[in-house]
Homo-oligomer: A and B are copies of this chain.
Amino acid sequence: MSIPAAVEELAQRLGPRLSRAQSDRDLHGRSETHFAPMPPDAVAYPETTTEVAEIVAICARHGCPVIGWGTGTALEGHALATRGGVTVDFSRMDKVLELRAEDMLAVVQPGITREALNTELRATGLFFPVDPGANASLGGMAATRASGTTAVRYGTMRQNVLALEAVLADGTVIRTGTRAPKSSAGYDLTALFVGSEGTLGLITELTLRLHGQPEAVAAAVCAFPAMAPAVEAVIATIQSGIPMARIEFIDAASADAFNRASGTALPECPHLLVEFHGSESAVAEQSERFGEIVADLGGADFRWATKAEDRTALWKMRHGAFYAHKALRPKAAPLVTDVCVPISRLAEAVEETAADIAASGIPGPILGHVGDGNFHATLLPLRGDAAEFAIAKELAARMADRALRLGGTVTGEHGIGMGKLGYMAAEHGDAWAVMGRIKRALDPDGLMNPGKLVPGN
């Protein structure tokens, strides 16, 4: 195994698009959260699938690790070069390759971001709904099985990736899935690659399901006197069958963070942020029924965002939550964690977590895509304070344990990366070993994003 030999061969192949500059390596060795930097030995900037395949084949020949890179916004250290090697940065592969409005699908390269994609779609009457907080790349979103505020209505990346092209560990290029809306032709390799975090191969092209822009949209913010009735309102709304497009919970600390970051004037108490999509009459009906549920549970201070720009501001605020949270304690090294539980256990999961954080002394605002049973805590231990960091780690571990005890999962959308490897055995039992067997079958030398997701990797 020789990383230097791989880097040398890649430099000859790619010229200036293989960077060994310290600044570039540092940039690709950092994460958004608390993980220590782990830079790669070099960063490659391919422009085509063929180049990606060549890069991977060269690395395979030299036993050099390969790590995919979208926008570097993963929260669990997914793209850190744990054993050095070459990071493949997809920023030059950021095109919409084909747009088939009549089939409601788009074929894109992995480096395009969700905002850039939706900008390109604007004139078509279609949109791509999956919206993690960051303006992430579609390749990264697929690799981490990302979701966001609209998953309650439109699904996560699991439901919205129809087909993929991927480069395997030996440089082979495969295609999974077709353009048909469904298929029962063999193993669902698309679903296997979505969420595989770059450990089985690199995604080089995605066929995405698009959705029609709704005829009418109504969004609102609504304040609650306490956490419990806000969460109960979510459960009641879901169970009443009102088709929410978005239903987000934020706690009092998050309201405060948004006021500081976005200049809003939300009362410092828990809120729900909601949105309805449909025909004019359907949206009116849904809004009215939701209003009744909220009123019954003591929700008040209902603010409707009727203009498109007000809604844009509302969701921009929500998508900026991580940065707003970080600004609450600028010297913190954030430990962001998410869990997901069955809807019926959401209230106890959120309340126990809030009480646990409150008792810890560490700031830790909570919010989440509660229509999915998914919520996040942004734990804010001071950078370099080992005692605080240990407390934050314990809080996160108890959140994960709590989610499992309640029948849920240790991560609803952030993924495993390095940060949650320690919970995989508890969540999956013997099924984790099955993931390891699949990994070894497709990447016997363990070169694709080592140190992530699978056992002993």
* Contacts from A to B (Cβ < 8 Å): 100, 102-105, 144-147, 151, 155-156, 158-159, 168, 172-176, 178-189, 191-192, 194-196, 212, 215, 235, 239, 241, 278-279, 281-282, 285, 340-344, 372-374, 403-404, 407-416, 420, 423-424, 427-432, 434-435, 437-438, 440-442, 453-454
Contact = CB atoms under 8 A, between A and B. Distances in A.
Which of A103, A239, A427 counts the most chain B CB atoms within 10 A? Answer: A103
Contacts of A180: 340-342, 372-374, 403, 407-409, 412
A103 B342 contact: yes
B184 A414 contact: yes
A212 B241 contact: yes
A145 B407 CA distance: 25
A100 B442 CA distance: 38
Contact of A441 (B179, B196, B416, B437): B437
B151 A182 contact: yes
B427 A189 contact: no
Nearest to A101: B239
8 closest Cβ pairs, A-B complex = A191-B191, A441-B441, A183-B409, A179-B407, A180-B340, A180-B408, A102-B344, A145-B184
A147 B395 CA distance: 42
Contacts of A235: 102
A182 B343 CA distance: 11
A185 B431 contact: no
Given A173-B430, A180-B342, A282-B282, A438 B438 contact: yes
A188 B178 contact: no
Contact of A184 (B415, B434, B437): B415
Given A178-B407, A185-B411, A438-B438, 7 more contacts: A145-B184, A158-B191, A175-B431, A179-B407, A180-B372, A185-B416, A186-B428
Contacts of A342: 100, 103, 105, 179-181
Q: What is the oligomeric copy number?
A: 2
A186 B144 CA distance: 9
Nearest to A189: B431
15 contacts: A100-B344, A102-B239, A104-B343, A147-B184, A175-B429, A181-B342, A181-B372, A182-B340, A182-B409, A185-B420, A186-B424, A188-B191, A215-B241, A281-B285, A441-B441
A145 B374 CA distance: 27
Contacts of A176: 428, 431
Nearest to A178: B409
Contacts of A196: 187
A187 B182 contact: no
Contacts of A159: 155, 159
A435 B187 contact: yes
A415 B184 CA distance: 5
A410 to B, nearest CB: 5
A349 to B, nearest CB: 10
A442 B434 CA distance: 7
Nearest to A215: B241
Contacts of A281: 281-282, 285
Nearest to A151: B182
Nearest to A188: B191
A437 to B, nearest CB: 4
Nearest to A372: B181
Contacts of A440: 441
A187 B181 contact: no
Contacts of A212: 241
Contacts of A172: 430
A152 to B, nearest CB: 8
A163 to B, nearest CB: 9
Contact of A181 (B343, B430, B453, B454): B343
B188 A145 contact: yes
A407 B180 CA distance: 7
Contacts of A195: 184, 186-188
A434 B189 contact: yes
Nearest to A152: B181
A181 B342 CA distance: 6
A194 B189 CA distance: 11
